[in-house]
Structure 1
């Protein structure tokens, strides 16, 4: 993981979570989830992610950057602070904006950017990753595919400098961020874009919002044999976690 740094481990982190309008979210679940149901899944993923982050002992506060009023209300009810997205947006612009808002209010805070689609996230695993990240000015955790990124961190005064999207692992590494190589933190690496991702997250143990959604009927289509979203009809003993 690179040479040890001299920074003092911060007592707590501010985690910035970006979330696009729900109507545009999770388009890659098309074919597995009807269009009418995808916003509900995106919201459930975000609720389970934010709930787990709030429960993490290493986290002081959670800031969600979103223009979606329903998501903002539901995530604020969990204890997150919500701020509207910046004009012109895009994922990295939203993260830069959120990090700038955080640092304007508290210049000495350690900032982490985290994907909103980690429905199996475990607070203890997130705490381990943040503890490891606290040794470096900037650090990141690659996704389960070892192509993208699920978490990017920056200690003050380092800028966050996000480069999410596509092969962001290589971009974050090239930017000077240190790659975190912990084992046993699968829930922090398992973002969900596809039906296969969702099956893997289910095996890790879903948070209650996503597990509840999977156990019920999918709007617009009845459960069918072979569907990844048959819930209790095809996936017995759905395990909850992440909150």
Structure 2
């Protein structure tokens, strides 16, 4: 994955030992409440099965982010992107409980009076203000500007970005519905987006259709403009952000239908298990059992440095073929 960061004229070159330090990242994942999420799948799945699938996809995304944190934080010679914190923004107590169990912080979407059971006083505490970001309580109007999508999702994304900007100089917002994602995918995108100490950069990951986006990154900048919706890739580009591509399919294929899942060569274990439980509906649309996709994923899991970042060309081709 390549892009051109650029090198401002007259910029002072940092010592190599500083330039080579891993970039610290905070990652926010907005998640709609279960009763509203993936409403377009209601025509394909009963309500209980749709909710099960939504929950499973979020779990796989969070496990991928947690795995990327282990890659960046504990592996000598590993990824140069270090995830120091990640959070889910939600108003749903069930999704909040899942996120907590996987090591995520919780940012309540609507505050303590609405998001019952989310313990906002302990889970959404503000950290030290970031330079250029106004100091604000966890439920004050956030600084980031978010466009596209519905109004509640825009608010959730803005709260997530505001939370992340208080924890690290490098900030990412990631979709909750990319069940093919792996820790290597997260690490690869964040490493490509890392501008280096003192340099600013804004990036985005186009979705599988090339029209929307599934992730956005912000390095050393207070410009946190973020876009959602079917034209968000063009909106990011028009605002001066740089496409992080070719990004792995696992982070690009967001899911709004069972047909979208069928496009993925491998699935996270939670999503594959959920689809097994859904049964005949999923198999008829996807052309087979999701279990094979879960087993195929094992070759892409990472317990050491990111395969996407360390593989030889032949291994990279094998990984892409598996997608």
Q: What is the CA–CA distance in structure 2 between the aligned matches of 1:224 and 1:152, rounded to whole Å?
A: 33
Say if 1:153 and 1:101 are closer, same or farther in 2 by CA, change over 3 A: same
* Maintained 8 Å contact 2:180/2:267: yes
Q: What is the CA–CA distance in structure 2 between the aligned matches of 1:36 and 1:195, rounded to whole Å?
A: 15
1:156-213 Cα deviation digits (max 9, x unpaired) = 2333211111210011111111111225x11111111112111112x2x111111111
Q: Which moved more, 1:5-14 or 1:168-177?
A: 5-14
2:55 to 33, 43, 51: 43
Gaps of 5+ in 2: 9-13, 72-80, 112-149, 303-323
1:210 to 266, 271, 282: 271
Say if 1:110 and 1:225 are closer, same or farther in 2 by CA, change over 3 A: closer
TM-score with structure 1 setting the length: 0.85
More helix by share: 2
> Over aligned residue pairs, what C-alpha RMSD do you find?
2.5
TM-score with structure 2 setting the length: 0.65
SS at 2:250's partner residue? helix
Instruction: Please tell me whether residue 68 in structure 1 is matched to residue 89 in structure 2.
Output: no
Q: What is the CA–CA distance in structure 1 between the aligned matches of 2:231 and 2:91, rounded to whole Å?
A: 26
Instruction: Please tell me whether residue 99 in structure 1 is matched to residue 156 in structure 2.
Output: no
1:18 to partner: Cα distance: 0.2
Larger radius of gyration: 2
SS at 2:40's partner residue? helix
2:260 to 197, 206, 214: 197
Instruction: Please tell me whether residue 237 in structure 1 is matched to residue 249 in structure 2.
Output: no
Count of residues in correspondence between the two structures: 232
Q: Which residue of 2 aligns with 1:77?
A: 101
1:89 to partner: Cα distance: 5.1
* Maintained 8 Å contact 1:113/1:153: yes
Query: Which residues in structure 2 correspond to 1:163-182 (within 5 Å)?
Result: 163-182=227-246
1:147 to 211, 230, 238: 211
1:24 to partner: Cα distance: 0.7
1:191-239 Cα deviation digits (max 9, x unpaired) = 11112111112x2x111111111112x3xxx62697226863xx56232
1:36 to partner: Cα distance: 2.5
